[in-house]
A = this chain, B = another copy of it.
Amino acid sequence: MLKEMGKKAKNASLKLMNITAEIKSAGLLAVAEALKANADTILAENKKDVDAFIAKGGSAALIDRLTLTRERIYDMAEGVLKVNALPDPVGEVLGMTKRPNGLVIGTKRVPLGVIGIIYEARPNVTVDAAVLCLKTSNACILRGGSEAICSNSILVDIMNDALTSAGFPEGSLQLVRDTSRETAKELMRLSDYLDVLIPRGGKGLISTVVENASVPVIETGTGNCHIYIEKTADPAMAKDILVNAKTSRPAVCNAAESLLVDASIAETFLPMIAKALQPFSVELRGCEATCRILPEANHASDEDFYTEYNDYILSVKVVSGLSEAIGHINEHGTRHSEAIVTSDYAAANRFLDEVDAAAVYVNASTRFTDGNEFGYGAEIGISTQKLHARGPMGLTALTSTKHIIYGSGQIR
């Protein structure tokens, strides 16, 4: 069955390669309108998912992620309008050179083709991911979680009606409605039709996709981010950055999970930071030296320093200086976002050079690693791999290039 969907998507993608900006915009505007106009129907279908999930004993946090409200639907529609208003990256010629033999070789930005997205329970991803793919002229096949199947089905049906009426080719947007594990595996092996597969969700989902996919994957997400307070750090700035990075939204991937402090300032900085974290009930898990200075801290295991808690927990390690801090981060980090707080010019530059991560900060919170904060206007995810795209992925991450060559009879 997925093979048929793949074929349809592939055919649609060839038509989408040259869809006009007018049709694209009309389609996205129609999607935004249709979402608002059909809010009642969406809410009714969403209620089926939520009721079933509650009956199965789902946790409060997950119920909240699954639940749509009229306001959330309007927010989704607003998001569609925002993406529609972004500049269209497709078709841009990035450069053109004339070779000595007279060949003129240009590099043109084109869609990737067919994008697969595998994600978990949040139905807003259905709209969000579809719209980013379509804005960049890609066909997409969505495969959401079983908990949200009624919501996802109605959202895709509504979007498809709107897209078709605006002139989008059939097969531009498809949803895998059989949410068994088998269809997920099948999607991961659909390399004849899919150009890329993007998993959005927890660590388990992402590693299953990386392990099993034959389709090229863009790995997103996991962030074991560090704040390193170097000995010349401004105390107030260090405290503000650490508290913001740890507590402003602990469940997201750019939140800080680990604090490193230079030994020479640990005696004064650690108590100050512990005090600042107290109102947020952050559990501290420290190395030996940390626990000597902060008797209230628990002892960290080796595992702790590799852990993305996504919670009000912080691992803490006292380090001898810059070299140990960089070494520790490169060993334990997930190459997502890493920050140093310092007043030392050379230390700042060495940290920027030597830390291996998608985003390396001097004197700012890791929480800024985000497509909107970086000025991309939208985000399909945060890549933690080095191939194709690294860090927050905006619209251009959903494009490829092709070489266009103008000749006059050249042979080799």
Q: Which A positions have Cβ atoms within 8 angstroms of B? A: 14, 17-18, 97, 99, 103, 105, 112-113, 191, 195-196, 210-211, 214, 216-219, 234, 237, 240-241, 244-245, 248, 330, 352-354, 356-365, 367-369, 373-375, 385-388, 390-391, 400-412
Contacts and interface: CB of A to CB of B under 8 A. Distances in A.
15 contacts: A14-B330, A14-B354, A18-B354, A97-B375, A99-B373, A99-B374, A103-B364, A103-B373, A195-B386, A240-B411, A362-B405, A362-B406, A363-B410, A367-B411, A386-B400
A282 B225 CA distance: 61
A166 to B, nearest CB: 21
A273 to B, nearest CB: 14
A411 B216 contact: no
A165 to B, nearest CB: 24
A248 B244 CA distance: 64
Contacts of A219: 216
A35 to B, nearest CB: 28
A319 B407 CA distance: 23
A48 B365 CA distance: 59
B374 A237 contact: no
Find the residue from A99, A354, A359, A409 having the highest chain B CB count within 10 A: A409
A373 B385 CA distance: 30
A367 B18 contact: no
A218 B196 CA distance: 12
Contact of A365 (B362, B385, B412): B412
Given A210-B191, A210-B214, A358-B402, A387 B387 contact: yes
Given A14-B330, A363-B406, A364-B407, 5 more contacts: A195-B387, A211-B214, A358-B403, A360-B402, A368-B405
A236 B364 CA distance: 65
A374 B356 CA distance: 32
Given A103-B368, A364-B410, A409-B363, A374 B387 contact: no
A244 B403 contact: no
B410 A368 contact: yes
A120 B88 CA distance: 42
Given A358-B403, A386-B400, A411 B365 contact: yes
A196 B386 contact: yes
Contacts of A237: 409
B391 A388 contact: no
Contacts of A357: 402
A72 to B, nearest CB: 22
B409 A241 contact: yes
Contacts of A214: 210-211
Contacts of A386: 112-113, 195-196, 400
A353 B18 contact: yes
Contacts of A105: 374-375
Contacts of A403: 358-360, 369, 374, 390-391
A409 B354 contact: no
B113 A387 contact: no
A409 B240 contact: yes
Contacts of A216: 216-217, 219, 385, 387
Given A14-B330, A356-B113, A364 B402 contact: no
A410 B210 contact: no
Nearest to A406: B362
Which of A244, A359, A364, A400 is most buried by chain B, counting CB atoms within 10 A of its CB? A364
Contacts of A113: 356, 386
B99 A387 contact: no
A17 B354 CA distance: 7
A361 B363 CA distance: 50
Nearest to A351: B404
